[in-house]
Structure formats: structure tokens, C-alpha cells
Structure 1
């Protein structure tokens, strides 16, 4: 049965709500699991981009002369969204008090990020169902810590639990919007995969990996390596095949 990118987008978007709910309900065991997902997702996403997506993007170089530029644009857009629009930002649970502006600026920045998560899923499906499914898994894995991030920031800024969950819902809606607009707008349909490569590379290498580099013990490193091996076992080396 054919997979529907919109349904995949909805499924990934649920990760935002699950992560936000874990913070609001203070489920420490769930938060520890999500922390492990962060490291696993980093490995999965990094391997997906380097082994599967970039060869696909540049393999179509004759048809997409701006492919390299679009990868760079995707990378830079996320950086600007997270560190210019959102000065107080890091993946994971926020444990210190922050200003109300910090919470809402984070919501703006992460909404843009979430939109490109949807672009990534839809862009993958435009190439093949296999690539779309792998992007869905990659996005879902970091949607959980993304939900933790926004909900904890909202709570730390003084917002109530309802607003914290509402912020997770905003990210979920932005994700689905990214899927829908990629299918409707020709430029996104053409360059969506290249943009998604840049976005995913940034999230994996610049957001997620630094979050667990200082962790002691082997648990997080094992999760990171597990994500890489999982992607390879799923056959990312043959992503061009339907």
C-alpha cells in the first residue's frame, strides 16, 4: 500500500505533542528515553544526509544547478531561525527561568524549523517512498526532543501547562504545513530535497551532537552509533530505488 506523505507528516508532528506532554506531566522516565532518542536520532539523521540524501541531490546536478546553494540555504536558514530569531535556544529540557520573550521567540524559531521538517518529509517522498519513509523516521526521532524543548521553555518563561502544550501543537501544525506547501509550490517541490539536506545536516551536527558530547558513560555514544547503523541497515545506500 502506498504511503501518504501527509499522513507521515501528521505522524511525525505527533512527536512534538508527545515530547511536550512528557515535560508538562514531568514523566522523568519518558524524558530519559527522549534524551536517548536525541542521540540515536543524531546518528540516524547524519547518516541519512551523508550516505543517502546528498548523493541523490548532487546526482541530479545537471537538472538542479543550484542544488549546492540550496543545501547551504537550508543550513543557514535553520541557524538564523535558532540563534538570531531565538537567542536562548538549545535542544533538550530547559531547567532555568527565562523571560517570556525567550519562550515566544523560541516558538517562532522552532516553528520555522518544524516547517522545514515537513519540507524534508515531502521532499523525500518526491524522490521515492523509501526516502520519504526514512525522512519520516529521522524527523520523528528529533520531534520528541523538539517538543521537550519548546514546552520546557514555555514553562520556564512562566507560561502555564496549557500554553506549553499549545506550543507543541503550533510546531505540529507547522510541520504539516511544510508537507502541504512542498506538494503545492513548484520551487519547494524542485529544491525541497536539497533544502531538507541542509536543514537535516544542521540539526544533526550542530544541534543534536553537541547536546550529548559532554555526557559521561557510553550510553549516549552507543545510541548515536546505533542510529548510524540503523540507517545503514535500512538500506540507505540504495535510496534512489523505489
Structure 2
């Protein structure tokens, strides 16, 4: 997790020192925020792809379970990207393209991870930790501050609690 945090903080500092690359027609802070969110989502997809490939090394049932879980959670990840880009003027089709782009590392990493499961398995905790650290930073540094600007704290808190409840209910449903 610390490695994910370090990676994101370094990227954030690098963007502070350089001109922010354009993302579609976005400029300045909007482009920087969009680039950070798409970047974090894309980087953490590498670890998810390794997780899918390695899970098939534990058998088809485990592989299907992990694949389904990651596929389902890709929906809110894509939505998070779109909800950052569309209100800032990015056309829906381009936001959808960025959402899809952010998950492309998953199948690209799943196949070699499956083929080399014994080589990748020791690195899975590192990759998942990197992904977790990057995602936690993004939620607390980018998404929640935006949500708190546009919604009341009560609404944000309610959505967070309901989201966790839905996630745990889904985990229980697919575990049985």
C-alpha cells in the first residue's frame, strides 16, 4: 500500500512541476485531476489482471470467482472516471473510451500471469498493495473532496455507507 501511495504522490508532484497534459479539451486543474484519476485506475488494473491470471492457477472455480468479482467492480470504476470527465465537458463517448482504456491492463496481464503463475504469485501481494494504496489516495484526495463540494456531508456519508453495504452484500451473495 505504501508503494501505491508513493507512486501517486510522486506523480502528483511531477504534475505540479510540469505543464499538465491535455485530456480532451480540459485545461489546468480539471485536466490534472482527470489525468490522475485515469492514471491511478489504469495502474491498479495491472495488479487486478495479475490477480485474475494467478487465480486461474488455483483452479477454474477460483478463477471464475475472481474474474466475476473484478468484472463487477469495474462497473463503478468506469463510472467514477465518467463522473469526473463528463461534468468537465468531455463528451460521453470519450469518457467511455477512457473508462475502457483504464481496464485494458487486466486482460493484458491476466494471460502472462496465468502462464507464469509460479513466477507472479509472490508478487501478487505487492501489486495488490500498490493498487490499494493508489486507490485509497484517489478516493480521499480526489473523489471525496469533489463530492463534498457538490453534496452535503450527510449525503456523501450516506452514499459511502450504502456503497459499502452493497459491496459486502455482493461478496456474501457470490461467496455462497
CA-CA distance at 1:139 after TM superposition: 0.8
Residue 171, structure 1, aligned to residue 114, structure 2: no
* Match runs of 1:49-88 below 5 Å: 75-80=1-6, 85=11
Return 5+ residue gaps in structure 1 as ranges.
1-74, 88-97, 234-242
Contact 1:124 1:193 in 2 (8 A): no
Kindly report which structure 2 residues correspond to 1:17-32, keeping only aligned pairs within 5 A, or say none. none
Structure 2: tracts of 5 or more residues without a match: 14-28, 145-154
Distance in structure 2 (CA, Å) of the matches to 1:157 and 1:86: 20
Deviation by residue 1:198-237 (Cα, 9 ceiling, x = unmatched): 467x38x958x98898217x8556424423422441xxxx
- Whichever structure has more helix as a proportion of its residues is 2
Aligned equivalent of 2:157, options 186, 190, 214? 214
User: Which residue does 1:227 correspond to in 2?
Assistant: 170
Question: Normalization by structure 2: what TM-score?
Answer: 0.62
Matched residue, 1:54: none
Deviations 1:164-223 (A, max 9, x none): 1220221232221121332355775332543465467x38x958x98898217x855642
| Corresponding residue to 2:61 among 102, 114, 130 | 130
Report the counterpart of residue 41 of structure 2 in structure 1: 110
State the 1:105 CA deviation.
2.4
* In 2, Cα distance between equivalents of 1:219 and 1:153: 21
- When the two structures are aligned, how many residues end up with a matched partner? 148
The DSSP-based 3-state class of the residue aligned with 1:117 is helix
Aligned CA-pair RMSD? 3.8
Find the aligned partners of 1:140 and 1:103 in 2 and give their Cα distance.
Answer: 22
Q: Deviations over 1:93-118 (max 9, x none)?
A: xxxxx511211222222111112111
Match of 1:148 among 79, 93, 100: 79
1:111 alignment partner, SS class: helix
